[in-house]
Chains A and B, each alone.
Chain A
Amino acid sequence: MKANLKEFTKGIFKENPVFVIVLGLCPTLGVSSQVSNAIGMSAGVLFVLLFSNIFISALRKVIPASIHIPAYIVIIASLVTIIEMVMHAFVPAVYSALGVYLPLIVVNCIILGRAEAFASRNTVLDSILDALGMSIGFALGITLIALIRELFGSGTITLFPVGTFSGVINIPWFINNPIRVLALAPGALLLMGFLKAFFDWNTLRKKDR
């Protein structure tokens, strides 16, 4: 049981896909301009990673090593297309917010990376826990980046509209004094670099102790 729990928690901090394994940087940098986009992307990754890990783990004895990649790509691409159609039909606001990044989950390295490195070698239960942990780790990473970028780059925090709430929270002072570069692509790279350096420093500090 403890070993199973380890599969879940490792993805959140110790092997965080964004800051430690450095996987899935394309959506992390591309979508993190608004908090709502980061949350929507995290939900998409969670769904695809969970089901791709389940299918790939269940089929691990059926799919030979030499056709891993084409088989995985077909499974992942199908799952992404299914989630895209379902989101378009039933949650159009999230579908619209994610835009072009939703189909790009197909080539998100986290999905293929976990399929090859974990799900193809472990049981379905462990693969589910791995997917949940990695998805939460990804969600924390991308949401942290989005929060900093949007707060300092635009002076707002964008969530989802509910009733009379428009979904956009204007932050006093920051809205009139935005650091524009953070809202743009170079700002995402700069911030990612600083955060990666911080997490590396923190890891080394703990090791030294």
Chain B
Amino acid sequence: MRKNIKYAMILLTICAVSAFALALTNSITSPVIAQMDADNRLKALEAVSAGYDIGEQKEVTDQAFVTYVIDLKKDAGIAGYILGLKTAGYGGEMTLVASYTAQGEMLFAQLLTHNETPGLGKKAEDDGYMDKFKGTGDSKPVPTNKTMLSAGDAQAVSGSSVTFTAIAKAINGGSEYVKSLGGVK
């Protein structure tokens, strides 16, 4: 009994010291990480804004893929929308931002956070990955299956079908949501 209490106390001490070291590291790194995330998000919004003015963010809670919507304004009118999207990839949740015309055609998209496999699904971060979805969602359907892609694009997503399908479904869901907003206001 005494031996067990001794073992428990040793483990408790190791855990307490570890928890203190973790708390100390977290207190130093978390403000830096939060600032970096905010900067990245701002950069991503500017990158997908297509030169339009970025409006206020409104939360969306009743959609499978859309988490927030931001109006893209031109001459006091709404030219389109930026949507915050979330979807489930191979490594868990992925978040992205995508801009659409008011008719639901995707303009630009950028991956924000993910845990996809390096060398495979992680390629979704690369410049040009989202080009295969550009201009789709209105007259042209969003490619939600590899068979809807050109041979070159299908080869590029080879080995990472789960990531591709997850992103495609989110972009398609975003397009449908924009269409449900009723076009140009």
Residues of B within 8 A of A98 (CB): 118
B181 within 8 A of A: no
Chain A 55-90, CB-CB to B under 8 Å as 1, else 0, gives: 000010011101100110011011001100110111
Q: How large is the interface on A (under 10, 10 to 19, 20 to 34, 35 or more residues)?
A: 20 to 34
Cα A100 to Cα B25 in complex, Å, equals: 20
The residue from B15, B28, B36, B159 contacting A74, defined by CB atoms under 8 A apart: B15
Q: Is the CB of A99 within 8 A of B29?
A: no
A183 & B10 in contact (Cβ 8 Å cutoff): no
Residues of B within 8 A of A77 (CB): 18
| Secondary structure class of chain A's binding surface, majority of residues | helix
Complex Cα distance, B27 from A89, in Å, reads 11
* Chain B nearest CB, measured from A26 CB (Å): 12
Which of B10, B28, B120 makes the CB contact (< 8 A) with A63? Answer: B10
Find out whether the CB atom of B29 lies under 8 angstroms from the CB atom of A37.
no
Q: Is B60 an interface residue, CB under 8 A from the partner?
A: no
Q: Is the CB of A99 within 8 A of B116?
A: yes
Taking A74-B18, A82-B21 as contacts, is the C-beta distance between A92 and B36 under 8 angstroms? yes
Provide the residues of chain B in CB contact with A70, threshold 8 Å.
Answer: 11
* A67:B22 contact, CB within 8 angstroms: no
A191 beta carbon closer than 8 Å to chain B: no
Known: A31-B118, A37-B118, A89-B32. Contact between A82 and B25, CB under 8 A?
Answer: yes
Q: Give the top 7 A-B pairs by smallest Cβ distance, nearest first.
A: A33-B119, A89-B29, A78-B18, A89-B32, A85-B29, A100-B115, A82-B25
Q: Which residues of B contact A (CB under 8 A)?
A: 6-7, 10-11, 14-15, 18, 21-22, 25-26, 28-30, 32-33, 36, 91, 114-120, 122, 125, 158-159
